[in-house]
Chain A
């Protein structure tokens, strides 16, 4: 079954994105790289969206 959950990620700079998990992850990675020089992995963004510790994901 498809995940119908709506996710939102809010950057400290004021930028915000809402949508499906894939949409929010892709937009967050793009925003982070273009605007903040952040090289985030998909796993790190997913961890943040799910309220997990991204550091754990980054070292996994």
Chain B
């Protein structure tokens, strides 16, 4: 007897959404252990989100260059904390990747969150945030290899903000 497939998913009230990116020449690529898509992590009430993301990335992918939370929003019946995690090309291994295209941002109203937020908008905002950090944060500027800097310069700097 064969039963129908069951479904399984991260279902905590707070979740980390990780975008693993790496630099391929002058193009930023999206990858991850699940493929080139948002990677969700369960966060418990006592978990520090940055520590969890850093540890799971280290254990699963390898040591990251940079782990940074770039936005949050309400989605998936949870509060989603989005992270951009930069890794070196040597850590990509057999993980599938796709080049990241530019995208329109999801714009808030004056006192309300955007109604719809595409994944591409979250990634775009994350990279703009990273571009701002490279200019503003000496740690980020020092940790991100020099080849990243001119590529990120193409993104309009924008500080941390709530997306939803």
Chain A positions near chain B (C-beta within 8 angstroms): 4-16, 28, 32, 34-39, 48-49, 51
Q: Which residues of B contact A5 (CB under 8 A)?
A: 1-3
User: What is the predominant secondary structure among interface residues of chain A facing chain B?
Assistant: mixed
B42 interface residue, CB < 8 Å from A? yes
- Contact partners of A32 in chain B: CB under 8 A: 8, 42
Complex: A8 Cα to B34 Cα, angstroms: 18
Contact of B141 with A by CB under 8 A: no
- Identify B43's interface contact among A12, A35, A37, A51, CB under 8 A: A37
Q: For residue B41, which residues in chain A have a CB less than 8 angstroms away from its CB?
A: 36-37
CA distance A28 to B6 in the complex (A): 11
Chain A residue nearest to B59 (CB atoms) is A34
Look across to chain A and name the residue whose beta carbon is closest to the beta carbon of B47: A37
Determine the distance from Cα of A9 to Cα of B2 in the docked complex, in whole angstroms.
12
CB-CB under 8 A for A9 and B34, given A4-B1, A34-B59, A34-B60: no
Residues of B within 8 A of A28 (CB): 8
Report the minimum CB–CB distance from B107 to chain A (whole Å): 28
**Is A36's CB under 8 angstroms from B6's CB?**
no
In the complex, the answer to whether B7 meets A48 with C-beta atoms within 8 Å is yes
